[in-house]
Amino acid sequence: MRRLAVLTFALVPLALGACSASTSSAEPSASTAGDISDIVIGGSDTLAPSLEFTPGLDYTAEQSELVWDGDGEYLADGQPLLLDIYGASLDDGTTLINTYDGLPRSFLLAPEVVGEELYERLLDVRVGARLLVVAPPSFESESEPPIAMVVDVLPDHAVGDEVAPNPALPEVTLDKQTGEPSVEIPKGAAPADLQVATLIKGSGAQVKDGSYLTVNYTAWYWAKGNDEDGSWKKGDVLDSSWPVEAAPFELQIGSGQVIRGLDEGLLDQTAGSQVLLVVPASYGYATKGTLVFVVDILDVWNPEGSA
């Protein structure tokens, strides 16, 4: 039996906090069969869930169960996926993956990526759903433990309350299916200072100095210009994480990883928000002039349990 394909991508070493699963004190015999219905999802002292089960049972088939459905859009074949995953060995409770105390993982909704079992289950749910998944050992490596995973489906674009736009700033239009933004650059000179406008107000964790973020973004040129690669036109895209083959971008605020305009402009925003930033050269790239960013804040993780 082939192991759930999502495990190939998900179960890699993580420099994140872990949460141990709970196990009972029962001593099952080697012939005792296990079933997904024997596993209970509980809480923990961190952002991650916990798993309660009898260790050492024999799980021989891939299983999945919808814990609850979400209230967002229905998932569709081939679309980007953003998942929080907590997984533990069903032999001894060892935590194998925990993205809840860190940043979520991105995938494509395809059977060759997440496996047939999870793929078929995800096609029937909406964003916000939680699933419980069991993966038995593969034929190739019977020494592997069976694994239980809690999987939460997160939005891959901003979700929240719309905020009235500032008519003096670029106009943002969203694709009705994907949520991907496009902009109309206004006529006239660009603002001399950094401009920040919240377009969609999310209800998630607040961005602080040191926060880790998962975002989707697009950056456009405000005006026509030239660089080492040739010329660009007003409104041309400088860079984007939105193509389906691209993954959301991960960054840490205040680490010097991104330009000053993003470091300062995203502070105090919240997960789920969409933010428009007009970034002059002094806050961004000296050779590229003023840039326009639209950033969807998909996830915010504040280490050490800070809210």
pLDDT of residue 15: 29
As a whole number of angstroms, the distance between CA 156 and CA 178 comes to 9
Residue 104 pLDDT > 90, yes or no?
Answer: yes
Contact 87, 148 (CB under 8 A): yes
CATH of domain 161-305: 3.10.50.40
Where residue 21 falls among pLDDT bands split at 50, 70, 90?
low
pLDDT of residue 210: 95
As a whole number of angstroms, the distance between CA 15 and CA 116 comes to 29
The strand pairing partners of 89, in sequence order, are 147
Per domain, the residue ranges of the chain are 5-154, 161-305
Apex CA 64: angle with CA 18 and CA 22, to 5°? 35
- What is the per-residue pLDDT across 277-298, written as a single tens digit (0 to 9) for each? 999 999 999 999 999 999 999 9
Q: What is the mean pLDDT of residues 45-74?
A: 93
CA 296 to chain centre: 11
How does strand 50-53 pair with strand 22-23? parallel
Please report, as a single letter, which amino acid is at residue 29. S
Contact 71, 126 (CB under 8 A): yes
Query: How far is the CA of 227 from the CAs of 71, 253, 279, 280, 289, in angstroms?
Result: 45, 28, 17, 16, 10
As a whole number of angstroms, the distance between CA 251 and CA 297 comes to 11
Same fold flag, 5-154 and 161-305: yes
Where residue 6 falls among pLDDT bands split at 50, 70, 90?
low
pLDDT of residue 24: 54
More confident residue, 8 or 227: 227
As a whole number of angstroms, the distance between CA 223 and CA 290 comes to 7
Where residue 23 falls among pLDDT bands split at 50, 70, 90?
low
- What is the per-residue pLDDT across 170-216, written as a single tens digit (0 to 9) for each? 999 999 888 899 999 999 999 999 999 999 999 999 999 999 999 99
Contacts of 118 (CB under 8 A, 6+ apart): 4, 6, 64, 131, 133, 151
pLDDT of residue 271: 97
pLDDT of residue 26: 45
pTM for the model stands at 0.88
pLDDT of residue 176: 87
Contact 170, 192 (CB under 8 A): no
Where residue 8 falls among pLDDT bands split at 50, 70, 90?
very low
Contact 105, 8 (CB under 8 A): no
Query: How far is the CA of 155 from the CAs of 79, 126, 160, 204, 219, in angstroms?
Result: 11, 10, 11, 12, 21
Class of 5-154 in CATH: alpha beta
- What is the per-residue pLDDT across 239-266, written as a single tens digit (0 to 9) for each? 999 988 888 999 999 999 999 999 999 9
Q: Across the chain, what does the average pLDDT equal?
A: 88
Alpha helices per DSSP H over 74-127: 111-114, 116-122
Give which of 41, 299, 57 is closest to 149, Cα–Cα.
Answer: 41
The strand pairing partners of 237, in sequence order, are 220
C-alpha distance across the termini of the chain, in Å: 42
Query: How far is the CA of 307 from the CAs of 207, 209, 296, in angstroms?
Result: 9, 12, 19
As a whole number of angstroms, the distance between CA 55 and CA 187 comes to 66
Query: How far is the CA of 90 from the CAs of 5, 43, 149, in angstroms?
Result: 18, 18, 10
Query: Considering all CA atoms of the chain, what is the largest pairwise distance in Å, rounded to the nearest integer?
Result: 77
Burial of 124 (0-12, 13-18, 19+ CB in 10 A): exposed
Contact 104, 125 (CB under 8 A): no
